[in-house]
Structure 1
């Protein structure tokens, strides 16, 4: 699957990594229900770092739509809260 991190680019991530990403997504979702920015920033950083480490950079010159779109580093708790769907940022 192709995962886009806003403001950064796309990554090719194996479908087998979805369970791991969903665990980290749940932590982001839980952090969005609170008001502790530090906990939120840590959870978002862990999710984005995992996408970077589990995936490989998608070719910049390829024009492919993303399967998932994640907020970029530096996104605020309020911004990410608006992006959350019924299943968090990552469905499944």
Structure 2
């Protein structure tokens, strides 16, 4: 699975990590809906760090279609309300 972190690059992430990422994604949706900015920021960092530590960063010249695009760590709660809705970024 190819995941792009906006403003950072693409990572090749094992599909076996999907369930764990989906759990984090769903928590982010709940935190954004409740307006809990502090915990939202922590979970967004958790999501990004999980991708970074378990994925292999692709060279910038290796352009592939992304399966998922994740926002950068400076995404505000207000901006997150437009992205983290419904099933979140990872549907499943």
TM range (shorter): over 0.9
Structure 2 residues without counterparts, runs of 5 or longer: none
Stretches of structure 1 that go unaligned for 5 or more consecutive residues are: none
Pairing of 1:71-90 with structure 2 (within 5 A) = 71-90=71-90
* Displaced runs of 4 or more, over 6 A: none
The count of corresponding residues between Structure 1 and Structure 2 is: 92
Q: How many angstroms does 1:35 deviate by?
A: 1.9
Q: Distance in 1 between matches of 2:27 and 2:47?
A: 9
Over 3 Å counting, the alpha-carbon distance change for 1:63 and 1:72 in structure 2 is same
2:7 and 2:32 mapped to 1: Cα distance? Answer: 21
Residue 12 (structure 1) aligns with: 12
What residue in structure 1 maps to residue 70 of structure 2? 70
Task: Find the aligned partners of 2:79 and 2:30 in 1 and give their Cα distance.
Answer: 15
Question: Pairwise CA RMSD of aligned residues?
Answer: 1.1
Q: Give me the TM-score of the superposition, normalised by structure 1.
A: 0.93
Contact preservation (8 Å) 2:32, 2:84? no
- Determine helix, strand or coil for the equivalent of 1:33: helix
Length-normalised TM-score, structure 2: 0.93
